[in-house]
Amino acid sequence: MASEEKILILKMLEQGKINSEEAARLIEAVEGTSKSAQSSGTSYSSAKQQKKINFSDEVSKVKEKLNDWKRDFKNSYNQTDFDRMIEEFSAKAEKVGRTLATTTLGIADKIVDFVSSFVDTNSFNIFGKYQAVEKTFDVANITEGMNLEVQGVNGNILVKKHSDDKVIIKSTIRSPHNNADDLLVFNEGEGNVSVKTTKDENISVSYEIFLPTVKFNTINLKTKNGKIYVEDSIAETFEAQTSNSNIELMGVNSDKINVTTRNAKIQLGYIIGKNIDINTVNSLIDIKHVKTQNINAVSKNGRIFIENVHNYKGCSDINMNLKTSHAGIKVNMNDMEKRGYKIKAQTTNADINLLIPEITYKNISKQLASSFVEAESSGYEGYEHKVNIVADTQNGDIEIVK
C-alpha cells in the first residue's frame, strides 16, 4: 500500500474516526490480500491475532512519517500544491470507498465523512503563521430586493441574523505579505453589495456576516477550502459554493437554493425552498425538516438521507431526484398526511425497501446484481397531494418510509 494511503488510515485512527480493528480491516482491504491467506494451515484466531500484530507494526513504522508529512506540508505550502494534493486525496478516497462499499459495511461511510476534516486548512494551520488583519464593512439603508455577493478563499463564511437594519461584513485576511488592503474589493450601490478577493493563491480570507431580517433578491457566497454556515436568511435565490469543506444551512428561506461543494458533506435543516439543488462528491447529503416542491440531490460515494419533508406553500406535489453511488439512499417522510406516492428506484448489489402502506408495484426487475422497482399508491391519480421520488445508486440500499 502507498504511504499516502497508510497516512489516511492512521490519521482517521488518530482522530478517533475509526478504531484499531477497523483500521486493520482497511489496510487489509486496500492491499487486496488477506493476511490469513499466507498459510493455509493458519487458524482463524491465529490469523486475526497475526493481523493485529502486523497492524501494530504498521503504526510504529508510519506514525513519525505522518508527522513529517504534516511538517513538510506546512513549510512547502503553495496553493497549486494544495489543490493538487486534494485532488489526489479525493481519488484515493473514492477508490477506497468503492473497494469497501460491499465488503466492509460502515467503514466506507466513515472514509467519505472524514474527507472534509482531512483537507480542512485549519487542521494544518497553514495560514496561522501569518498576521491576521481584520476589516469591517457596514452597509446601512438596507431595503428588500438587494443583491449580496461575498467571495473568500481558504477560509470560512459564517452568516447570522441580527436585529440591526444594516449588513455587517467582518473579514479576516491572512497573507505572507503586508498587503491586506490590496486583497479585497468592496462595492456598494444600486442595490448591490459585494466583497471579492483580488487573488486566490497563498492567502486566506474568511468572513463573519450579519444580516437584517429583510428579503434579498440574491445571496451568493463562494469560497474554497473553508466551510459555509448560514442561518436565518431570506432571499429569492440563495447560492453557496465551496470545496473540500462542509456546507450547513439552518433556517434558510428561498425560492431557489443551489448548494455545491466537493469532498465534504452538505447539511440542510429547517429549510423553506421551492427548488433545492444540492451537489457534492465523496461525502454525504443530510436533509431534515424542509418545505419544498423540488429536491435534486446528487452525490458520489456518499449517503443521501432525507427526513421530514413537507409541501412548499401553495404547491400540491413534492418531487425528489436522488442520485449517488457506492452508498445508500434513505427517505423517511414521517408522513401523517394523506398523500399519494410514486416511486422509481434502482440499485446494484443491494436491496430496495418501500415501507409505504397501500403501495402497488407496477414493475419489479432483478437481473444479475441489478434491482429496479416502480410502484405507486393505490388510487395515486386521485390524491390531491403527491410525492414523486426517483432514487438511483450503486452498491447501496434504498429505503423509503412514509
pLDDT at residue 359, as a whole number:
95
**Residue the block writes with cell 486566506:** 204
pLDDT at residue 244, as a whole number:
79
* Residue 106 binned pLDDT confidence (cut-offs 50, 70, 90): very low
Q: How far apart are CA 279 and CA 323, in angstroms?
A: 10
Q: How far apart are CA 205 and CA 171, in angstroms?
A: 7
Tens of pLDDT, residue by residue over 187-209, are: 998 899 999 999 887 889 999 99
Tens of pLDDT, residue by residue over 74-83, are: 566 666 666 6
Between 156 and 178, the more confident residue is 156
Tens of pLDDT, residue by residue over 357-373, are: 999 999 999 888 899 99
| Residue boundaries of the structural domains of the chain | 131-225
Instruction: Name the grid cell of 370.
Output: 441489478
Mean pLDDT of the chain: 82
pLDDT at residue 225, as a whole number:
84
Which has the closest alpha carbon to 5: 120, 94, 80, 105?
Answer: 94
pLDDT at residue 285, as a whole number:
94
Which has the closest alpha carbon to 207: 189, 194, 191, 190?
Answer: 194
Tens of pLDDT, residue by residue over 152-174, are: 998 899 999 999 999 999 999 99
**Is the pLDDT score of 262 beyond 70?**
yes
Q: How far apart are CA 342 and CA 365, in angstroms?
A: 17
Tens of pLDDT, residue by residue over 299-341, are: 987 899 999 999 999 999 999 999 998 889 999 999 988 999 9
